Amino acid sequence: MSARTDDPTSRLFCSDHVNQPYPRVRDAILANADGVFRDATAVAAAHTATLHLRVGGISIATKVVGVHRDDENDRPATTLMLAWKAVHRTPLFPSITASLAIFALSPTVTQLELRGIYQPPVGKHGEAHDAAAGHRAAEASVARFLEEVAGWLRVELAPAIVT
């Protein structure tokens, strides 16, 4: 039996960077966030990006639920609010809500930080799943998602090499 708090949620955090200026990265994502996520993950289900978390053939789909731009601080930033939920049979599978912050580390490097909340499925099934591997799977899935998005942006935004 694992120790649990009364709070059924778990916090998630991961980060990566792109060797491109913040405006280029921000503009690429804001131009078509769903397309960037879909193309970056190379896994599409009903035209949405998915986490690499499949249980019994159930896809966990990514949805952009909001965008906040904060260009008034010393360091401009853009935050996308994301949600991941099972496409079918939603009460049986976990959900994740997260913010993806995009900001400049330097004039040529952009940071991507994903902070989220993992919500295990409800009931005894959810507690057992979470204790067995749910939170670890959620952490690995969002880390891989962000790694793939950053990697895709590095390739797509790289200057063309003329030979």
Residue 40 lies in a domain: yes
pLDDT of residue 31: 93
Residue 2 lies in a domain: no
Residue 97 lies in a domain: yes
pLDDT of residue 138: 78
Question: Per the structure, how many domains does the chain have?
Answer: 1
Residues in the chain with pLDDT < 70? 1-9, 42-62, 71-74, 86-93, 122-134, 162-163
Residue 162 lies in a domain: no
Residue 5 lies in a domain: no
CATH number at 126 reads 3.30.530
Give the per-residue SS3 of the chain.
CCCCCCCCCEEEEEEEEECCCHHHHHHHHHHCHHHHHHHHHCCEECCEEECCCCECCECEEEEEEEEEEECCCCCCEEEEEEEEEECCCHHHCCEEEEEEEEEEEECCEEEEEEEEEEECCCHHHHHHHHHHHHHHHHHHHHHHHHHHHHHHHHHHCCCCCCC
Q: Per residue in 78-120, pLDDT tens?
A: 999 988 876 665 666 678 889 999 999 999 999 999 999 888 7
pLDDT of residue 6: 45
Q: Which domain holds residue 140?
A: 10-156
Residue 3 lies in a domain: no
pLDDT of residue 141: 81
